[in-house]
Structure 1
Amino acid sequence: MDKPPRIFGRAREWDGLAAFATRPTAVTGGGASLGVVSGRRRQGKSFLLQAMAEAAGGMYFAATEATETESLRLFTEALARHTREFIDAPFRDWNGAIAHLFHSFRDRPSIVAIDEFPFLSKTSPALPSIIQRELGPGGSGRTSSARLVLCGSAMSVMGGLLAGQAPLRGRASLELVVQPFRHRESAEFWGITDPRLAVLVHAVVGGTPAYRSEFTQGDSPATVEEFDAWVVRTALNPQTPLFREARYLLAEESAIRDPALYHSVLAAIAGGNNTNGGIASFIGRKTDHITHPLNVLEDCALIAREPDLLRPGRVRFRIVEPLITFYEAIMRKRWAELEIHRAEQVWSTTRQTFLTQVVGPHFEALCRAFVLESGDTLFAEHPAEVGSGTVNDPENRAQIEIDVVALSAQQANNPRRILSLGEAKWGEVIGHHHLHRLARARDLLQPKGYDTEDTVLALYGGAGFTAELTAAAATDDRILLVDLNRLYS
């Protein structure tokens, strides 16, 4: 099935869904198949599933927040409309509804998408178990050709469907997570060709497609000079949906029951306090008291736990959604002023904070993503791991922070090879002193058991490089300079 032109990108997601929807019953071993599609809100999951159901002649049902009785009534009506069969009364419970669903799709493989599944499982906790039973031996799914897709945005709920001892564990033949657009794809989606402007916009709205098409009505800055005015009339404007979106992202997660605590944790991370101890100190709690909120935020896919690649056992936390970082660093402290339409004044006094606390760390994350995607064109081989790291410098009583670390795959009885050590600077011209820091870190790592013989020292510059450094890189293949144009090429 060809992807409809109205769907931007999502080629891999479409191909995965199409293969699942059309897979012959003989290939699946007979019977119905189960797929799970998840992803944070506003990523286009529903748009994708509706288009797939339409192209495949399948059924799409979007659940709503309702009682079990009303949900069953709505499901009965949707099933009757699609199959054009008469159902004399709404199903009394999900036992009958799921069994009837599988019986209705026996002739050929056909996709059946149930969107916002967490709404149904919240009022009917037994529903996953019922689906598991009907897919098992003796169940109605054994004689069905249905390709059942359960979709939802509540990441803590969707992640638990197939985890541990969950009833549907091991039942799904498709597990698809719809991610935000990557930085290059996002720039193309927004129609932005200037890489500097692309980084600035991505630092605010990330790669979430709905923020352009629905939340800003296609309002996109054309030049870097227009960026400030764009921020004021969109993200900082109380009359736009984008204004309150960061708050809603947190409120929509059912696992978050103390919003004040979770906002404080996010504010700590947005402010650069990204270690366990730093977060605890920032919010005034003991370290062991923040383990649960950190785990919940991670389960909700709002933060990511990233290991220090050069110091085992140490981790940093990063906010996954840029709009939340922007809210915590810029908007939350000045919320009262923003609500009375003082966006221009707020932005004029917080713009520098935006560049240092938001864009700077975001640029570092983009550089790591760039290396992870394009590492085979930069180094001798594609990195097995990409992240950040810290190197102790006892002689100078200091720690050297490495923004981009690229490691090869670990080989038995051989030291771990460091493909590259990199430094990323957004607003500072990079010179030889930055290169010397990386060289110092490389020299300190060699006695620690790392193979640094061919390590490339990479410098990622948002503001460019000195002429001397550019000349040095031209004659030394172990010095790599990556500017904004290359980052987006």
Structure 2
Amino acid sequence: MDKPVGMFDRDYEWSELSRFVRYPGPEATLGVVSGRRRQGKTFLLDAVCRATGGFYFAATEATETESLQQFGTALARHLGEPVPRRFAHWDEAIEFLMTIAAGPTPVVIDEFPYLAKASPQLPSLIQRALGPQGQRQGSAIRLLLCGSALSFMGSLLAGTAPLRGRASLELVVPTLDYRLARDFWDISDPALALLVNAVVGGTPAYRREFTLGDVPDGIEDFGPWVIRNVLNPGRPLFREARFLLAEEPELRDVALYHGVLSAIANGNHTRGGIAGYLGRKSTDLSHSLTLLEDVGMIARDPDAFHGKRSTYRITEPILSFYHAIMRPEWTDLERPGYAGQVWDRSQTAFRSKVLGPHFEHLARTWTRWYAHSETLGGLRTHVASGILPDPAARNSHEIDVVVFGRDSEGKEVILAIGEAKYGDVIGRGHLERLERLRELLIRRDDRATPGTRLLLFSATGFMPQLREATQTRVDVQLVDLARLYEGA
């Protein structure tokens, strides 16, 4: 199938969906499509149905009876029947659904978790329809179940779930990464692209539906753009962070989850730090942290040097921005006309709590996916951050980027370490700190060597003396915004 004109990127997703729906076998097949909200899943699946004459049904939050009525009406419309189909139960509806096409035809049930919530037996009914008995009576439909409730969609095919082992496609539609997001927003200036990405990330819907195509007209327009689109109570981005939590059925104690996200956004990245911020025991937060991970709102990053230690970060920038900037100022922000004052007095918090952590994350992303092996001194296997203890000085050092790889004998090695500073012009002092940390690391960890590379990331730039001193040094790499967005 030709990808629709106007669909940005999604080449991989379209290719996988095309392969699935064009499979020529005579049996019915199952695919599961998931991803966080606002990523364009519905756009993708609707385009597939339009391209192939398939059946698309979008479920709503409704009772079983209402859902069956809506399903029957949509099915009759698809089949060109003048009277809506009437199904007494879902087993009857699924049995008929399996017979609606003579050849390979996509059938999409979007927001499937809504249906399963009202009718928990649905996955088992679909399992039976895909089994030998159902296949003998059915047709070659290509059934695609789609949903944004990540924990539920993940459980559909896990463990002893009825549909375990039945799917021929498990497709997760991700957010656009920072480079794709820059292209999607059509921003040429990498400094502006970074600022916008730190607020709204790579969610496609925020570019068009939520801002009606409003893109900052240069760096000087970034603040006004935030005020008119994000801090404006009349715009959808204003309450988006609240809605993201409210829309997740697994997150019942919304106040607690907002508290956890606020703790992380305010610099408390360990379980103990989050617990202290909330005035709770760390053991009380296990379930909450696990659920937030399951729904894709936070990620747990293992420490590079301590396997049992980890830190948490918020994966969706709009959530970080809301909890660091908007939530503490909510009373003023709800009154029209005060957004400018809030933005002015939030600049320090924006730089330290939003831009700084986001830039560090992009540095690790660039190192993991874009940096050339010659830049890193070898092929990387994974990238992390970590806390390096220094017993002699009785303190520890945070290293923003730690790059692991393997030598010619297959032994794990530390290819590079790096420091990322959003607002600092990096000079000799930053390099000397990294050199000292490399020496300390060599003494403490046999995976590090004198050849371990040193990476310095800056959004502001590098002092001329540093550039001159490192021109001929292969072990030092300077990464500015131009290289972060376009180089390797």
TM-score, normalised by the number of residues in structure 1: 0.96
Quote the Cα distance in structure 2 between the aligned partners of 1:299 and 1:312. Answer: 21
> Is 1:261 the counterpart of 2:256 in the alignment?
yes
Superposition deviation, residue 155 in structure 1 = 1.3
Listed as ranges, the matches of 1:290-309 within 5 Å are 290-309=285-304
Quick one: structure 1 residues 477 and 410, their matched pair in 2 at CA, closer, same or farther if it must change by over 3 Å? closer
The separation in 2 between residues aligned to 1:115 and 1:368, in whole angstroms, is 34
Change (3 A) 1:436 1:97: same
Structure 2 CA distance for aligned equivalents of residues 141 and 65 of structure 1:
33
Counterpart for residue 218 of structure 1:
213
Counterpart of 2:439 in structure 1 is 443
1:333 equivalenced with 2:328 (yes/no) = yes
Is 2:418–2:454's contact at 8 Å kept on the other side of the alignment?
A: yes
Shift of 1:445: 2.4
The C-alpha deviation readout for 1:357-376, integer Å capped at 9, x for no partner, is 10000011111111121133
Provide closer, same or farther for how the CA distance between residues 52 and 277 of structure 1 changes in structure 2, counting only shifts above 3 A.
Answer: same
Point out the more displaced range, 470-479 or 314-323: 470-479
Which residue among 259, 263, 276 is the counterpart of 1:281?
A: 276
Aligned to 2:369: 373
In the TM superposition, what are the counterparts of 1:164-179 in structure 2 within 5 Å? 164-179=159-174
Does the alignment pair 1:462 with 2:455? no
Aligned partners of 2:379, 2:237: CA distance in 1, in Å?
38
Counterpart of 1:389 in structure 2 is 386
3-state SS of the aligned residue for 2:61? coil
Task: Name the amino acid aligned to 1:357.
Answer: K
In 2, Cα distance between the equivalents of 1:141 and 1:397? 72
Taking the aligned partners of 1:382 and 1:450, their CA distance within structure 2 comes to 15
Q: Does the CA-based 8 Å contact 1:135-1:141 persist in structure 2? A: no
- In structure 2, relative to structure 1, the CA distance for the partners of 1:88 and 1:292 (3 Å cut) is closer
Q: CA deviation at 1:172?
A: 1.0
Query: What is the identity, as a one-letter code, of the residue corresponding to 1:7?
Result: M
Structure 1 gap ranges (5+): none
Pick from 475, 480, 485: which aligns with 1:483?
480
Partner of 2:350: 354
State the identity as a percent: 53
1:88: how far off?
7.3
Q: Which residue of 2 aligns with 1:196?
A: 191
Alignment of 1:204-243 (within 5 A): 204-243=199-238
Question: Does structure 1 residue 70 correspond to structure 2 residue 45?
Answer: no
Q: CA RMSD in A?
A: 1.6
Per-residue Cα deviation, 1:332-371 (whole angstroms, up to 9, x for no partner): 0110100002101111100111011100000111111111
Report what 2:105 is aligned to. 110
Partner residue, 2:89: 93
Equivalent position amino acid for 2:348 in 1 = Q
Cα distance in structure 2, aligned partners of 1:41 and 1:170? 26
Give the Å deviation of 1:381: 3.4
1:379 to partner: Cα distance: 2.4
Aligned 8 A contact 2:73 2:85 in 1: no
Is 1:7 aligned to 2:2, yes or no? Answer: no
Q: Report whether the alignment pairs 1:408 with 2:393.
A: no
Cα deviation, 1:374-414, whole Å, max 9, x if unaligned, reads 133532433111121111111222211111111115998x6
CA contact (8 A) 1:116 1:153 kept: yes
The SS at the match of 1:395 is coil
State whether residues 303 and 319 of structure 1, in contact with CA within 8 Å, keep that contact through their aligned partners in structure 2.
yes
Shift of 1:86: 7.4
- 1:432 pairs with one of 428, 448, 451: 428
Structure 2 residues not aligned, in runs of 5+: none
For residue 385 of structure 2, what is the amino acid of its counterpart?
A: S
Tell me the equivalent position of 1:17: 17
The answer to whether the Cα contact below 8 Å between 1:66 and 1:119 also exists between their aligned partners in 2 is yes
Report the Cα distance in structure 1 between the residues aligned to 2:366 and 2:76, rounded to whole angstroms: 48
- Residue 312 (structure 1) shift: 1.1
What secondary structure does 2:99 align onto?
helix
Tell me, yes or no, if the aligned pair for 1:102 and 1:141 is still in contact at 8 Å: no
Residue identity in the other structure for 1:391: L
State whether residues 103 and 140 of structure 1, in contact with CA within 8 Å, keep that contact through their aligned partners in structure 2. no
